Chain A
């Protein structure tokens, strides 16, 4: 009896073949991504129309017709408006941005003293870059330098009045300097404060819990503008006669408390997401409340809510622009203030200044959000 073994086992791999012609190349990509169906084609055409309507005029305005250098408004105005450009001309007035660049960065900070904010900026970059790169060692030392030593150094450098540095009052500060100073202090203060409020809200002690809930919900329920108004008109009323506060400091307090309330809610989300076993495990090891929180719960909870924390930072960075309303001049405020400068007032000036300010804000916020996405992937908290 002979066995007919009909099974077949391939001994070697088949050589890989190229995908069919219709499935590769530009044509297939276009068909799949742009013209998959009639509806898709219509959408693509609409999209192309939008691009064609917006992009070429923008490029023409921002690059082709733009005026990059010039002494005053005449380069940015048409003949009818008292300038040198032909009628119907429309282009960005980058000359305005260039002429006012120093103001946009430092406000009315004395020109011969501007090396001080620049030095602070260099120090800040030198500390934040190694802090942000996960591979660089000595994070502890770096953090102490960035969050404890740097603020002191920066304070004395910027305010002056000691070591032979002339004193520069805060009303002379302005531009990006104010934006960054407010955001930095807001971030450094609001995170620990927010953690404390979040812990207080989860506390079992009714008095502490109520106080925290009332604070958080009140601050979150009202607009930042009213908080800033409160800091600028009501705070002086709260203090005894003769005690005055710097306006900058009042804005700082307002912004930090406001951000702390939002931060508290983000951190609370993280605290709630930690399974009960972690709390009980820490208890059974005999850890006290603060040991339990600092060693076990917070490291896990904060890691979970990094995206939320960074979103709050971004929100606060954008919100610093609101100090314009209590007449302080951050980047946006300085740009706005310069619209009325008679040397440069032309129809193109406001929009050029605003586009420039938008670009700076955008770079900072987009950078922060990308960095948070990077950290999220690294710590792998995104998918669980």
Chain B
């Protein structure tokens, strides 16, 4: 009784200052007031500053004439078009270098990551050296290395280095034959789409049949035949409608063919090589993360080594690999903004030019942030979905 009284008394005496709920409210209100006050202060200053320097805010400038050229234009663009168009070109260039870089980095990363687990001492050491070298130097340095160290000291166009298949390498870039698709080549595209659809259908049927009867079906080879074979058939059927525009050497320059500019090449090579080192470590961790018991158990069940890898080890390793791999892909995309250092016209570089010409700093930075945040969120959403699909189904 007495102790209860004391407790009750204590309770009534402990003032509202010590009530965690009220304290929480207090701190939240404090933070909110500080944040809102800070933002309001900043907005006021910005309005003041803009007013003083006579900069009109808003996105109206996107419709005015750009007046600068862009060296790599995936869609039609010239200096008479608008700033908005220029930014779209920059955005597409970012996507191009990110997509090609991601594919190459994944391929190199897989090879090096598996090589690091090889039984072969030499291969293991070579892969370790590769990883330790590229992980520990800044990506910007790798970009400079390719741009200033390798590509800009290549010979002039008139003494281009000749490579197989009529491709040439010189300090203006890499030249290769341009395939010109003639009439009837749409058939090939149609055949490809049909092939993919049929392969998907076959894979589905095969899985159903295996579930029902236990009989297996060579899905991989059938799909390969469908996806590659059908377009080839269509190619032959439409009478090989392709011709090549080969790069030709003249006295001073190369003409014809398609050209890959050194800016793109350096950025692409640097991002691929740099990110591959990180991907290799992720792959290695993923494979090591699958316990040995899994391999041994599947061997005991009578699976062949290739089957063990495909059916048991890889699916489990993927589960470990996907989240960090996603963040590496995003890192590569974000690192592509280093393009500005060598003048590859990506979103940040074109945005920087627009910023210098118009002085619309806030709008440009907002556009950058929205685009990169959008890419990040979309990629994470896709990868989360993929991850959920691959996740262990637990009871």
Contacts and interface: CB of A to CB of B under 8 A. Distances in A.
B122 A44 contact: yes
Nearest to A90: B153
B interface, over-half SS: helix
A164 interface: no
Nearest to B327: A220
A50 interface: yes
Contacts of B24: 204-205
B337 A365 contact: no
B123 A43 contact: yes
B337 A223 contact: yes
B226 to A, nearest CB: 30
Contacts of B348: 223, 225-226, 229
A206 B148 contact: no
B372 A221 contact: yes
B210 to A, nearest CB: 31
Nearest to A45: B122
Given A43-B118, A238-B46, A358-B145, A233 B138 contact: no
A50 B50 CA distance: 59
B373 A218 contact: yes
Contacts of B167: none
Contacts of B141: 321, 332, 354, 357-358, 361
Contact of A47 (B122, B133, B355, B373): B122
B343 to A, nearest CB: 12
Contacts of A222: 334, 368-369, 372-373, 376
A166 to B, nearest CB: 32
Contact of B123 (A47, A208, A225): A47
Interface stretch (B26-34, B72-80, B308-316): B26-34
A51 B130 CA distance: 12
A47 B137 contact: no
Given A324-B140, A332-B144, A366-B132, A223 B45 contact: no
A200 B48 CA distance: 33
A29 B216 CA distance: 42
Nearest to B274: A318
A43 B116 CA distance: 13
A261 to B, nearest CB: 13
B75 to A, nearest CB: 23
Given A332-B141, A354-B149, A365-B137, A233 B337 contact: no
Interface of B: 24, 27-29, 31-32, 35, 42, 45-46, 48-50, 52, 118-123, 126, 132-133, 135-141, 144-145, 148-150, 152-153, 334-335, 337-338, 340-341, 348, 352, 355, 361-362, 365, 368-369, 372-373, 376-377
18 contacts: A40-B119, A44-B123, A47-B126, A211-B31, A218-B369, A222-B368, A222-B369, A223-B334, A225-B348, A234-B362, A234-B365, A237-B45, A321-B141, A322-B140, A351-B145, A351-B149, A351-B153, A366-B132
